[in-house]
Chains A and B, each alone.
Chain A
Amino acid sequence: MDLSEGMEQLAKNTQFCKDCHAIADAEQCSICADERRDQRSLCVVEDIRDVLALENTSTHKGRYHVLGGLISPMDGMGPSDLTVDELVERVESEGIEEVILALSATMEGDTTAFYIYRKLGDLPIRLTAIARGLPVGDALEYADEVTLSRSFQQRVPFETTLHR
């Protein structure tokens, strides 16, 4: 396949995965199509770049749900511009047991997480959010005060930090 052919394929085949709404080259993306992935666990992210970042870590064994943005009226983004309703539908119909919120640690990320929390509130699932704390390899004294105080408030039993 030469470059021009590749470009043509790209333009023709690029679409959003019908399940997770990530950019895909088929109706269903390769992650959603992979049956070895944990079908009970769903990780909620802002966009495809976050999927790639998390996939690089190989820590999440389940599937994803891509919101397509964060709630931000200033940027003209409301809940109806995101795939929140689709998320609720998936959780209700696909036998999801855990939803992991992996959103940016910004006001918009927090607002969106809170909105999802209220939408999913009554469903019998475990709703978790990724931890916020010191970057690995960083000295404590140089951490900014907000991160430091938050990681202090959300401290964890030491044993859970072992064998990782």
Chain B
Amino acid sequence: MQDVILQDLRLVHFKNHSQADFQFSPKLNALVGSNGAGKTTVLDAVHVLCMTRSYFHSTDSHCIQFEAPFFVAEGRMRVGETETPVYCGLKRAEKKVFKADDAEYPRLADHLGRFPVVMISPSDRDLITEGSEARRKFMDGVIAQSDKAFLDALIQYNRALSQRNALLKYFAANRTFDASMLELYDSQLCQWAPVIHSARKAFIESFEPRLKHYYHWMAGDREEVGIAFKSGLLEHSMEHLLQDKLAKDRVLQYTSVGPHREDLIFTLHGEPLQRVGSQGQQKSYVVALKLAVFDALKEALGIKPILLLDDIFDKLDAQRVEGLIRLVNEHHFGQIFITDTHPERTALMVKEVNEEAKVLDLSPKQ
């Protein structure tokens, strides 16, 4: 199986990097340096080139260095023998320019899935603690990388949903109601909702065994984890739900049913993880979740995604790190980027890995 490999990276005014050039190993890249040296920023730049946007910021302009007028992140991706230059640039108050092979995409979404990536970061805990939107985004991000029809349905659905909600507000503000207008959008929601729902359902079903596998690998065999799908569409059609909640939606002035209300429930021994899981169990769960995503993407796309491990030692004890190194040595992963604040610990890990490894020190030059 071929790996996705980022060969090099050039950053200009990207977060705390004024200007930086990197050459990477096709296997293991360890980024070391003190806090604030910009290790995680490099991981995020890799994420930008793979996914067209930052892992940490939902607003693109937040990636521009403080008081700088623009940012550029560019690098060469290689899959097998094919090399593709990828460029992302943003000037303040302008539209982001994203190019692959020197050409812009008609739609940014077309880039997704070409160079898959998985990030494991301390902020993944948000998946457990935050609202349902974070979990839908997580799940959709994985499905969209291998299923273009799903992504298209999602875009169309969200657009029709915004229009329907605006219409409900208009009705309320003008004390009027027009069923035939509402139906224009209901029919579109009903067209796309089943596509989104069934793709998510199929994804979760195939995903749960992978999650269990990695959780057991991380935490031993005693604990039973699971992932459940919460959705009104499991029992009723979208048509039925919209009809049933019409009165409520008119009062609320937004649409209260549909795929945009679906959620994932993470469980431990059948109970919600957020309630019953310890800090350690929750950490293990999200790492298992992400490693499962790696396997899911690898299988769906037939290439090994880039793996970004941000501050992984914070999450894993020595035994798990050894297990991870074993997986690396068994060629389970492709290219890996890892950040660490302890150069000695990194050096030790690099020594244990049989693959070609490179240590990049981001500490300020003396």
Query: Residues on A close to B: CB < 8 A?
Result: 71-74, 76, 78-79, 107-108, 110-111, 114-115, 118, 144-146
Contact = CB atoms under 8 A, between A and B. Distances in A.
27 contacts: A72-B163, A73-B163, A73-B164, A73-B167, A73-B169, A73-B170, A74-B163, A78-B181, A79-B181, A107-B160, A107-B163, A107-B188, A110-B188, A111-B163, A111-B184, A111-B185, A111-B188, A114-B184, A114-B187, A115-B181, A115-B184, A118-B180, A144-B106, A145-B148, A145-B149, A145-B152, A146-B152
B340 to A, nearest CB: 41
Contacts of A71: 184
Nearest 9 pairs of A and B residues by beta carbon: A73-B166, A73-B167, A74-B166, A107-B159, A144-B106, A111-B184, A73-B163, A145-B148, A73-B170
Interface in B165-195: 166-167, 169-170, 180-181, 184-185, 187-188
A144 B107 contact: yes
A115 B167 CA distance: 15
Contacts of A72: 163, 166
B162 interface: yes
A78 B159 CA distance: 16
A108 B180 CA distance: 16
Nearest to A79: B181
Interface string B126-170: 000000000000000000000011001000100110111011011
B299 interface: no
B90 to A, nearest CB: 23
Given A74-B163, A78-B170, A107-B160, A144 B181 contact: no
Contacts of A73: 163-164, 166-167, 169-170
Given A73-B166, A74-B162, A107 B180 contact: no
Interface of B: 106-107, 110, 148-149, 152, 156, 159-160, 162-164, 166-167, 169-170, 180-181, 184-185, 187-188
A51 B169 CA distance: 33
A73 B185 CA distance: 11
Given A111-B185, A144-B107, 5 more contacts: A72-B166, A74-B162, A107-B156, A107-B160, A144-B110
A73 B195 CA distance: 25
B293 to A, nearest CB: 23
Nearest to A143: B106
Contacts of B156: 107
Main secondary structure of the interface of A (DSSP, over half): helix
Contacts of B184: 71, 111, 114-115
B321 to A, nearest CB: 41
A19 to B, nearest CB: 27
A72 B185 CA distance: 11
A73 B169 CA distance: 9
A111 B184 CA distance: 6
Contacts of A78: 170, 181
Contacts of A76: 170
A104 to B, nearest CB: 13
Contacts of A79: 181
A142 to B, nearest CB: 9
Nearest to B162: A74
B271 to A, nearest CB: 41
Contacts of A107: 156, 159-160, 163, 188
Nearest to A144: B106
Contacts of A115: 181, 184
Contacts of B152: 145-146
B178 to A, nearest CB: 8
Contacts of B162: 74
Most buried by A among B149, B163, B169, B180: B163
Nearest to B187: A114
Contacts of B107: 144
A118 B110 CA distance: 34
Nearest to B156: A107
Contacts of B149: 145
B108 to A, nearest CB: 11
A66 to B, nearest CB: 21
